[in-house]
Amino acid sequence: MAASLFLLLAVILAFTAGTGPWIIVATVVLATAAGTRLPDLDTPLRLGHRSALLHSILPLLVALLDPRTGAVAAGLGFGIGLHLAADLFPRTMRGFATIKLPLWGSIGMFPSYLWIALNGAANIVGGFVVLERIAARQVVAGALAGIGVLGTAYLMRTDGGWGAMALMLLIGWLIFR
């Protein structure tokens, strides 16, 4: 429910509040918060847990269909990327934890790890690319600071989050060194 509310608020900001720096930062951070929970809407939508439709880059791409929702797309990319990073560290990758394709079912253990890793990376990279295209450098820095705080809080309290945080720190260190 929180994912839907955050996403709704982000979309409302994107459509009504303009493109000021703080509006972009707020929209990206709200959409990131929505993205951390959006993949788990698969269960109430009866798509099967870890549905390939929501555990992918598809939500980011859908958000890019309207040019006014670039900040929403960037935030969804970061949020879903964080969610998928945590999903890389399940207690066990079988049954409930594997990716499910519509009309197909589970794709199995190894393909699930591959799907999650590739789509997680695609979401994070996509979020960066979109954010850099729609915002000035200072706005990008502000949004990344907000995402960093939100992402740390999310990963500290979710299953698989500590492993994901270590992975994100390693990747960040490699990128910025």
Q: Tens digits of per-residue pLDDT, 51-110?
A: 889 999 999 999 999 999 999 999 999 999 999 999 988 777 666 678 888 888 888 889
pLDDT value at position 95? 61
Whether 27 is in a domain gets the answer: yes
pLDDT confidence bin for 124, thresholds 50/70/90: very high
pLDDT value at position 7? 85
Tokens at residue 40, please?
């788990």
Residue 62 is part of which domain span? 2-172
Whether 54 is in a domain gets the answer: yes
Identify the DSSP state of 19: S
Would the pTM count as exceeding 0.75? yes
- Counting the structural domains of the chain, the total is 1
Whether 177 is in a domain gets the answer: no
CA angle 115, 27, 171 (to 5 degrees): 40
Whether 34 is in a domain gets the answer: yes
Q: Is the pLDDT of residue 154 over 80?
A: yes
Alpha helices of the chain — where are they, by DSSP H? 2-16, 21-37, 58-63, 70-87, 109-134, 137-157, 161-176
